[in-house]
Amino acid sequence: MSFTVFATAIISAMLINNVILMQFLGICPFLGVSKKSSSAVGMSAAVLFVMVIASAVTYTIYDLVLYPFDIPYISTIAFILVIASLVQFVEMVIKKFSKPLYKSLGIYLPLITTNCAILGVSEGNITGIWTETMPYWEGLFTAVSVSVGTGLGFGLIIFAFSSIREKLDGSNVPASWKGVPISLVVAGIMSLAFLGLAGII
Amino acid sequence: MGGFLIPVLVIGGLVIVYILSYALNKNTPIPEECLEIVDSTKCESCHSFTCTYKK
């Protein structure tokens, strides 16, 4: 457990293996909640918040329950249920104890239940980080670092994309390209640009 | 039998946890200051049945 592991995991998950542009996960909120920058920021914050908690919980469940009982094949369905329950709990706790946080994140939390990026990161932590011999705390630290990087990467891309879309709304775009077509072209170009970062680490 | 029972128990337990968390969340009142945000929410693209804002 060191700062180097933390920094490498964050940079790698944020820029090189970006969840949206390189792994093509979380495309639904990427296209659906990127019309306004303010919504994009709220959604990113909610995703980062839930992603970190979900990664820690799913990693723990896999390491302490699913693997010891020799039932790792139910990990996907177990993780879906864990994430769905977690979102409900987080929403309830925020509703009850933190009104300002609920005001900014509240309406985005139910959307996260169906965000495949959360499930993708949880599954990725098991296939990419977890090993039989790795100490629990070390694996948990790496998994949380990766989820922080992934959440930040999600936020970076969705915010950049929403800013471009806001600019495009005021631009003279041909009628047939207006709306979703030009947005998809922009997303494709962004993905190509991020491909240039592959191999840095 | 044991190989079948454990996964069923784990999934059943998680389903119960989900149902409980959903019921608790649904019964928790929305803070008064946040009611106008919830009212202005437009559910156009998301069809999540877990959404607590859906009328």
A145-199 pLDDT, tens digit per residue, is: 999 999 999 999 999 999 998 888 888 888 898 888 898 999 999 999 988 888 7
Provide φ and ψ at A25, rounded to 5°: -110, 150
* Predicted complex ipTM: 0.76
**How many Å lie between the alpha carbon of A17 and the closest alpha carbon of chain B?**
27
To the nearest whole number, what is the mean pLDDT of chain A? 86
Mean pLDDT in residue range B23-51: 69
- Chain A residues touching chain B at CB-CB below 8 Å: 28, 32, 65-66, 69-71, 73-74, 77-78, 81-82, 84-89, 91-92, 95-96, 99, 102-103, 106-107, 110-111, 113-114
How far is the alpha carbon of B53 from chain A, nearest alpha carbon, in Å? 8
Query: How far apart, in whole angstroms, are the C-alpha atoms of residue A5 and residue B7?
Result: 34
Instruction: Verify whether the Cβ–Cβ distance A107 to B10 is below 8 Å.
Output: no
Specify the pTM.
Answer: 0.82
Are B10 and A78 in contact (CB < 8 Å)?
yes
- The residue of chain A with its CA nearest to that of B51 is A110
Overall average pLDDT of the A48-74 stretch: 90
Q: How far apart are CA A4 and CA A110, in angstroms?
A: 34
- The lowest-confidence range among A24-33, A81-90, A159-168 is A24-33
A84 near B18, Cβ under 8 Å?
Answer: yes
Domain ranges (residues) in chain A? 3-195
Q: SS3 for chain A, per residue? A: CCHHHHHHHHHHHHHHCCCCCCCCCCHHHHHHCCCCHHHHHHHHHHHHHHHHHHHHHHHHHHHHHHCCCCCHHHHHHHHHHHHHHHHHHHHHHHHHHCHHHHHHHHHHHHHHCCCHHHHHHHHHHHHHCCCCCCCHHHHHHHHHHHHHHHHHHHHHHHHHHHHHHHHHHCCCCCHHHCCHHHHHHHHHHHHHHHHCCCCCC
Q: Which residues contact B21 (CB under 8 A, 6 or more apart)?
A: A85, A86, A88, A89, A92
Q: Can you give the pLDDT at residue A10? A: 86
The predicted pLDDT at position A11 comes to 87
What does the pLDDT read at residue B47? 58
At A134, is the pLDDT very low, low, confident or very high (cuts 50, 70, 90)? Answer: confident
pLDDT over threshold 60, residue A4: yes
- Determine the pLDDT at residue B26: 87
Q: What is the pLDDT of residue B53?
A: 58
Q: Please give the Cα distance from A196 to A200 (Å, whole number).
A: 9
Residue with tokens 């640009």: A193
Mean pLDDT, residues A53-80 taken together: 91
